[in-house]
Amino acid sequence: MTHSSKKKKPASLEQAWNREYSRKNVLWNSLSNEAEVKLTKGEKVLELGCGNGQTLKMIAPGGAKIWAVDFSRKAGEICYELKKKYGWKNVEIERMDASELRFEDGTFDSVIAFHIIGNIEKEKREIAIAEIARVLKKGGRVFAKVFSVNDFRCPEGKDKTKVKSNGIREHYFMQEELDWLFEEAGMKKIEGKRISWKVKYEGKQRNREKLFAVYLKPD
């Protein structure tokens, strides 16, 4: 199913994510909703950017055959421990870069890309989306989730990308921008919604917002 690739992510950025996951070796709180992702038993699913296993915990019990990938070694270790803890025989975990997926064309029925597209450098974003489209079967779906420009953490200015001192980035999307990326890769949007909630920060109520969308690869 896989093919070899010798290219690797820059070590400094991977190390930053390894440290991040080591510091937060717990499932982060989120508003993930099981109803957002509808998978069937036996279908082949790629979870892109498995991170600390939050989404994996949500989808693994359903019986789909899941390949969970992340370029961070620490993320892979966390997810592997979850696999052992819960006895997920239907889950495979691999270390992989989103812009260089080592899978054959048309491998997966569904791809889940939650909070990874915004972490990819701008110049590699289209490449990663094209890779998603490549490994997806015709008629397959992509479930995507990103932070919105309406989130209070979105920086001012044109770029809408926040880069930490360690190099980790988060891009905040307009819905049209996200749709364009997938449409350029030949996919069609079939569902979309905003997920908004309030948090208290520095004594004030602040707005948090995510964009959730489902894209279809036409037959």
Domains, the chain, ordered by start: 11-24+38-216 (3.40.50.150)
Instruction: Tell me phi and psi for residue 147, to 5 degrees.
Output: -85, 145
Residue 35 has pLDDT above 80, yes or no: no
Q: What pTM does this model have? A: 0.87
- What the block records as the tokens of 141 is 């779906």
DSSP labels, 85-131? HHT-TTEEEEE--TTS--S-TT-EEEEEEES-GGGS-HHHHHHHHHH
Residue 10 has pLDDT above 60, yes or no: no
Amino acid 33: pLDDT? 52
If one counts every other C-beta atom within 10 angstroms of the C-beta of residue 14, the result is: 20
d(CA 202, CA 167): 25
Q: Give the chain's end-to-end CA distance (angstroms, integer).
A: 21
Residue 2 has pLDDT above 60, yes or no: no
If one counts every other C-beta atom within 10 angstroms of the C-beta of residue 49, the result is: 23
Amino acid 27: pLDDT? 44
If one counts every other C-beta atom within 10 angstroms of the C-beta of residue 102, the result is: 15
Strand pairing class (44-48; 65-70): parallel
Q: What is the pLDDT of residues 85-137, one digit of tens each?
A: 999 999 999 999 999 999 999 999 999 999 999 999 999 999 999 999 999 99
